Chains A and B, each alone.
Chain A
Amino acid sequence: MSVLVNKNSKIIVQGFTGSEGTFHAEQMIEYGTNVVGGVTPGKGGQKHLDKPVFNTVSEAVEKTDADTSIIFVPPAFAADAIMEAADAGIKVIITITEGIPVKDMITASNYIKDRDCRLIGPNCPGVITPGEAKVGIMPGFVFKKGTVGIVSKSGTLTYEAADQVVKQGLGITTAIGIGGDPIIGTTTKEALEMLINDSESEAVVMIGEIGGQLEIDAANWYKNSGIKKPVIGFIAGETAPAGRTMGHAGAIVGGSDDTAQAKKKVMRKCGIHVVDSPAEIGKKVKEVLG
């Protein structure tokens, strides 16, 4: 098993013909991902990368049976693209776009909350189930198939963690990049829960950063669930000053409870194997799995 995306996922690309969309769709197809088409308003009826282009998501769903979408639409229009996908019945909406106004995301997350769909991101690297589907912008070759799930707010730090896990002779079930914005569709806790419930995942790596309460919520959920499947954690930003945004819009220390130190303390109390050094994530996974 895996979570969110697999070889049966039928994927469309929103913002298909733009430069980002084109580049990454090409890489996804090359990886073997089942991309069934794309959407660019006004370019419907054309072919792009040998796949059909549609004017609307609903038309794409009707013609291709797509159930998953990846969004590369520019920030000013991205929230609208998310809502369009939800309205069309897309089940998994993965939003790569960085820089969406918070106001737009408040509207979008409110719009989709009662619809049968799951939003991943925005401002995330996407989701990969190695050997089956890469629905994102990550370098596919880093992720070898295996038994460790990954949930992370960051892009390159996810690749780093996956690389370390693979170099220990292990592999990845599914890696979920949840994104670094203040409002995201899937929380650390929700992603962790999915991976914990995945029978193939024997351990989960949870990577967070300063700002917000997501890692603390996830840690508390883990503790209260009583589940014994091991979780290995790291929080980036121990050296970040308070009140400054560190690249990701959501990575900002607001008080004493969203620092890296505070989060790690709670995670340890909840039974998570926390590493202080980002260079020791892979080693710790190996040690815990024995």
Chain B
Amino acid sequence: MNLHEYQGKEILNSFGVEIQRGIVATTPKEAVEAAKKLTEQTGTGWHVIKAQVHAGGRGKGGGVKLAKNLQEVEDIAGKIIGMDLVTPQTSAEGKRVHQVLVAEDVYYPGDNEPEEYYMSVLLNRSTGRNMIMYSTEGGMDIETVAEETPHLIFTEEIDPAVGLLGFQARRVAFNLGLSGKAFKEMTKFVTALYKAYNESDSSLFEINPVLKTSDDRIIAVDAKVSIDDNALFRHKDYEEMRDKREENPVEVEAKEKGLNYVDLDGNVGCMVNGAGLAMATMDLIKQAGGEPANFLDVGGTADAERVEAAFKLILKDPSVKAILINIFGGIVRCDRVAQGVIDAYKNMGTIHVPIIVRLQGTNADIAKKLIDDSGLDVQSAIEFQEAADKVKEVLS
């Protein structure tokens, strides 16, 4: 589950991580109030207005702007709230901004030049351990850093038996070239950051940039936080942070019905049992000359109710020109699935796109006969290739 910057920062701060402070606003007026309050609390003169959407690269799309007075706060908030923010990580239509974070200015002048670093915490899949990845090149796209200057990226892997050790936190601070107060602040920052990651059951922290201020404080200026969905049962308070407006409405609906659905741009819908077979079916659609309109795993029980729910989801997409149902019946018997398809079809009246059903496994023959004898406009297949050929036929 992805969180907004302000939510991620809230979690970070609750574990003692120093953050750039801010207040969320949903209207320009609220933004002005937030700015006034923030000045009282932090003494900040200027304010940064930051669009709160689940996408990186917000600055590039005009979603992060500096306001030097309250009038500018109001004007900028007015422009950003309600805009469709396009960033390198969104679609061409962009993402609607519903709220902004009014944040303190942390790039104030002082004894030293402010410096930016990059830091993330994530799972190293090849070792099965968490690691802290960090770089002196903050504020940049880390993929670019990895490509152009890989020697400037460091990692620190965490032994789960003992957690992050003192020398590791010090090594991070040394590698970032810090000394004196900033060094101490950085070791504290890293230690608190890892604690926050571990205890919040997160699957990704990306803090870009981590800032050394002109007076040598170390703070998180941005926060990208993802929580492990499988661990949400332990964190009811985080679960409430889910912002469904940021998610695809069809996918939200699918989730509520217990279906695993990912919306795609193609013209052939598919309904499959099992994630691997679902991906393979998408690939097959492409090889047959179509483009998959979705990923959909109906899971182990493909009864009439679920099939009907799946049909309805797929048919919401007007670009769908055909639907391929691919079920490998193991424990689930194919004849049951076939009956489910027939019942769902009848319940829905007429479906205006051709349907190809491929049922393989337990009772596949009986299932094919059921479909063929149903009188419905549904084509049946048993072999995987046969199904692909039928898709090709329908599309041409």
Residues of A within 8 A of B (CB): 23, 27, 75-76, 99-107, 109-110, 137-139, 141-142, 152-160, 163-164, 180, 182-183, 207, 209-210, 212-213, 217, 234, 236-241, 244-251, 255, 260, 276-280
Contacts and interface: CB of A to CB of B under 8 A. Distances in A.
Given A157-B274, A157-B277, A246-B275, A278 B361 contact: no
A158 to B, nearest CB: 8
Contacts of B360: 160, 163
Interface string B286-326: 11000110010100000000000000000000000000000
Contact of B284 (A76, A209, A277): A277
A210 to B, nearest CB: 7
Interface string B189-200: 000000000100
Contacts of B230: 75, 99-102, 249
B271 interface: no
Contacts of B201: 101-103
Contacts of B209: none
Contacts of B287: 276-277
A133 to B, nearest CB: 17
Interface stretch (B10-18, B78-86, B210-218, B380-388): B380-388
A289 B344 CA distance: 44
Contact of B383 (A180, A210, A279): A279
A234 to B, nearest CB: 8
Nearest to A185: B128
Interface residues of B, number: 53
A157 B276 contact: yes
B241 to A, nearest CB: 17
A70 B278 CA distance: 26
B117 to A, nearest CB: 22
Contact of B276 (A101, A153, A238): A153
Contacts of B279: 209-210, 236-237, 239-240, 246-247, 251
Nearest to A104: B231
Given A213-B126, A240-B279, A106 B160 contact: yes
B239 to A, nearest CB: 13
Interface in B230-285: 230-231, 233-234, 260, 262, 264, 266, 272-285
Interface stretch (B42-50, B328-336, B347-355, B369-377): B328-336
B286 A255 contact: no
B278 A246 contact: yes
Contacts of B234: 101
A198 B48 CA distance: 64
Contacts of A244: 262
Nearest to B384: A279
Nearest to B292: A239
B194 to A, nearest CB: 13
B203 A102 contact: yes
Contact of A154 (B129, B260, B277): B277
Contacts of A217: 126
B204 to A, nearest CB: 10
B317 to A, nearest CB: 15
A279 B388 contact: yes
26 contacts: A27-B331, A102-B231, A103-B231, A106-B160, A110-B161, A139-B331, A139-B361, A154-B274, A154-B275, A154-B276, A159-B328, A163-B328, A237-B279, A237-B282, A237-B283, A239-B264, A239-B286, A239-B291, A240-B282, A241-B262, A246-B278, A247-B276, A277-B385, A278-B277, A278-B280, A279-B384
B362 interface: yes
A192 B361 CA distance: 26
A139 B329 contact: yes
Contacts of B231: 101-104
A195 to B, nearest CB: 18
A44 B286 CA distance: 53
A182 B126 CA distance: 9
Interface string B356-374: 0000111000000000000
B143 interface: yes
B385 to A, nearest CB: 4
Given A213-B125, A239-B285, A246-B262, A139 B280 contact: no
A103 to B, nearest CB: 5
Given A239-B292, A277-B287, A155 B160 contact: no
Contacts of A138: 330
A219 to B, nearest CB: 14
Give the interface centre of A207, A217, A234, A247 by most chain B CB atoms within 10 Å.
Answer: A247
B123 A183 contact: yes
Give the interface centre of A75, A138, A160, A183 by most chain B CB atoms within 10 Å.
Answer: A160
Nearest to B291: A239
A239 B384 contact: no
The 7 closest A-B pairs by CB, nearest first: A154-B276, A247-B275, A156-B274, A139-B330, A157-B276, A101-B231, A278-B280
A70 B242 CA distance: 35
B273 A156 contact: yes
A13 to B, nearest CB: 16
B130 interface: yes
Given A100-B230, A101-B231, A236-B279, 9 more contacts: A107-B160, A110-B129, A139-B329, A139-B330, A139-B361, A142-B361, A156-B328, A182-B125, A239-B282
Nearest to A75: B230
A140 to B, nearest CB: 9
A215 to B, nearest CB: 12
B141 interface: no
B284 A278 contact: yes
A249 B203 CA distance: 11
A145 B230 CA distance: 37
Given A76-B233, A154-B275, A183-B125, A236 B362 contact: no
B295 A247 contact: yes
Nearest to B198: A103
Contacts of B281: 278
B75 interface: no
Contacts of A237: 279, 282-283
A109 B283 CA distance: 33
